[in-house]
Amino acid sequence: MSYQCNTQGTVCSVCTRVVGLFTFVSALLLYRGSIAASRHLHQGILHNVLFSPMSFFDTTPSGRTLNRLSKDVDVIDNTIAMNFRMVIMSFLSVLNLPIVLGMSTPIVLVVIVPVAIIYVLTQVGKTRDKNW
């Protein structure tokens, strides 16, 4: 009996460490991607502003130009990265639910699989109807 408990404890420990590692890697990749996207956006905007005709600077206040540069980069850095993270977390939670339920009570899969198939077919039908 103690061997079985020890094995389960080891499995839980390994699973926890793997989840921690995946969480760290996903956060690292998300923020590196966010920095790359904001750098790309900022360089593009800065290039367009620097090579704008003089009439642009005559008609556009400098505060509006600086606000545009800082606001767009702020949106990329903060808002889009967090929204993207929430979409990924929601998607993984939806995928995780049938796996955990199937492992704990396999009989649930008898119900989940047909319901999932009906759901997918319904969504595909709705998408086709919208396109017409």
> Is the pLDDT confidence value at 12 over 80?
no
Listed in sequence order, the residues at least 6 apart from 84 whose beta carbon sits closer than 8 Å to its beta carbon are 30
Q: Provide the pLDDT confidence category of residue 5 given band limits of 50, 70 and 90.
A: low
Per the CB < 8 A criterion, the answer to whether 26 and 88 are in contact is yes
Average pLDDT estimate for 31-52 = 84
What are the pLDDT digits (tens) for 55-83?
Answer: 887 888 888 877 777 777 777 777 877 88
Rounded distance between C-alpha atoms, residue 21 and residue 29, angstroms: 12
Instruction: Give the separation between CA 39 and CA 64, rounded to whole angstroms.
Output: 20
Q: Is the pTM of this model over 0.85?
A: no
pLDDT at residue 118, rounded to an integer: 92
Q: What does the mean pLDDT of the chain come to?
A: 80
